[in-house]
Amino acid sequence: MSLTVSTRTKGRPGKGVRAGRPHAAWALPGVLFFAFFAVAPMALAFYLSFTKWNGLGDPEPVGLDNWQKLLHDPRLSQSLTVTVLLTVVSWAFQTVISLLLGVWAAGHQRNRAVLSAIFFTPFLLSSTAIALLFYALLNPNFGIIHADTFGSTSGAFLAIVFVGGWQFIPFHTLIYQGGARQIPEVLYQAAAIDGAGRYRQFFSITLPQLRNTATTSSVLMIVGSLTYFETVLILTQGGPGTDTAILPYLMYEAGFKSYDFGYASAVASFLVVAATALSLLLVRLTGFGAMRSTREGM
């Protein structure tokens, strides 16, 4: 009798018991962490963009002077061009390789699991350590390539793209691997019955089913490419000349070489606004905001 009563009681939402979504208090640690380490620094940088400050004393309000200086700075157009070009090339390079590797790693064979675990290792290293490693490997004096890679514009640019891809391709491979494993196997079985080969299945089933996954990966790639810094600082230092001086490096020079933290904050705020707008535009154009599943028959 007691067992029956307890079972019925558990089946009913009792007084004070809320069914459905968890309590908002569970999100409090994450919200506080994000507010302290993301929102607060961005708000402080935005405030400093309207001041003149050399790192000592109190910031002096200057209105829109830093923003006017930014818009009329001849280095802005060059840095913006290099940043956009780096973003596009890095996205194309990383997307193609990570997509193919992710689909391949989605298999359940034992050798693929082992190779996937080994391949994921570069993402565990810091960007600074990887940049120092490749700086030594590409050094024309004692590196493996006896050529001045960083002495030419194309060589320095491609080195940044390759080093960034070597580090982050494993992460995006993992994203595509998870997306590929969610595709219903029945779709491939039906395609095989209809006579579709491996390549036809890839272009007609795998790619369409990975649309939302590709959007997620692309947003992370684009935002990450806009914030490249350690790799450029260690490998090229914006050189040769200013040919690889991207916007984050321009911010670094203004803040830690010229000690003009107000102008550096203006560059940082511009980067935040540009990255946010670009991400929202990408989500809007791809229809990712609808969050609709592409899994047919599920």
| Structure tokens given for 268 | 């940082």
Amino acid at 57: G
Q: Are 249 and 79 in contact (CB under 8 A)?
A: yes
- Name residues whose C-beta falls within 8 Å of residue 260's C-beta, 6 or more positions apart in sequence: 52, 54, 254
The verdict on pTM exceeding 0.95 is no
In whole angstroms, give the CA distance from residue 248 to residue 256: 12
> DSSP secondary-structure letter at 289?
G
pLDDT in tens, the chain (298 residues): 444 444 444 445 445 555 567 778 888 999 999 999 989 999 999 999 999 999 899 999 999 999 999 999 989 999 999 999 999 999 999 999 999 999 988 877 777 777 777 888 888 888 999 999 999 999 888 888 878 889 899 999 999 999 999 999 999 999 999 999 999 999 999 999 999 998 999 999 999 999 889 989 998 998 888 878 899 999 999 989 889 999 999 999 999 999 999 999 999 999 999 888 888 888 788 766 665 544 444 4
- Write down the H helix ranges in 147-242: 153-181, 185-193, 198-201, 207-209, 211-226, 230-235
In which element (H, E) is residue 272 found? helix 261-286
